[in-house]
Structure 1
């Protein structure tokens, strides 16, 4: 275990996946579907979740029960199942693939649905964990995360989930879910234009687009209630930054067919091809300003290691080191 080595950490979905995998052995078999959003949504579409969960989802989307609303609810399930016939919940990558090429589903509907569906799923997961008395394991886990830090002032995440929020002082650089979401409108911040809204979480299919959204959101009053953009804009000074559980996945339009047509986009021209590229750009900017010395990146596989090596070299990240995720013994056991 690497203790007291880092003065900042920025973690992504890999951290939550690690935690969930460790908790699963303590979960009743019939409730394991709550620990996988795809399984949860598939069961929802096939009317195979609990009556309470079904009732809650209906109320969030439609409010009062009526014949029209019940019919619309079934239509929603059908349209979602049509999307799921060839896709999954990796919505940022999928939208990147289909935004230009077109799709056999309603892209606008899916874009508007998934922020709420993710929020609903996570609420159900979190409430089950706390109801089952498993929250102690979460506390142990995030205590082990904070043990590698010299202080707890610089803990950042791209995640929307609030698993860590009760135990460490965490900064959600992309916003976070609404706890116990009660109505669909609550996921919206304000209108963006005649047809779109800003969400209380930053979604997007590439990093440049996300950074543009963040720049726009900064103009609104009381934005700090929903987001913490300090990593991007404040006078951050870090000696040793750990990036953990961040995949830096390529945008969905980077298909093999696309790469055969534009081979330089595979390794030689990466700009605009990475979902969270804005994070890499900020890291490079901090180093240029001499406000960040060393960068440590965790990886899970040799393929990921090779990819992160490519990213570091391509974007000119100085003093970066790759560390296998097994070196970090983040554990739910105290």
Structure 2
């Protein structure tokens, strides 16, 4: 039974009774859908993220938001407790874990596949213990040696993101002769460090790091040359959702579009990325991007007529 009934002879219950629910089996990476690009929902448990800072800053509001994304069809929920926007202040691993661990535990119990968005090995380890199945690390060229060791030992999938510097310095490091070529080369350099630590090729997912040490033009150039990432031989994650270069594109009367006004453009990038073979997209608004990846998959499967 899903609920408790009143004991015989005691009459009807006079107050709501608790609903007894069994935890769902833990979701597994190997069980993710195939045949289409996956949709990773962004869940920021922070007061200062660029798009939705403060909306999900408590465990209860974050859990509710994560469940809404899960039930809307998100394949993965990416939980982060530290803003990575340009200029953001550092958060201690202890505070980061205080924010994210209860949320991860609740979402995993509900049956969601969860990734932890962190640059700290200690937080990644705590998140894995809480049930997270993927590490999403935007530290880029500054990856902690302990993170490589953790990924090797845990054998979980690991998102390797391209980024120069940190949140405070990366905007000043956006200088490239050929952004796609250099991003691929720098990702390969960090990938080789992961290999040296014992990380398997099949664990690595690469993210070109749109917006991380890239200006608007460089972001568009990377999107135009996503195929160059294929030379690395890994799954590709595209994370363009609500980023500044979309706001610039959608400028009206000299005013950049607000983050929440960039979802339609995000869905367009989702469709293009999916059609070009991206393994997954990371987005704030799950529904439109889920529709977009389904359309892209159907287009890719459409027979050619002569």
What TM-score, normalized to structure 1? 0.34
Higher relative contact order (CA 8 A, sep 6+): 1
> Is the helix fraction higher in 1 or 2?
1
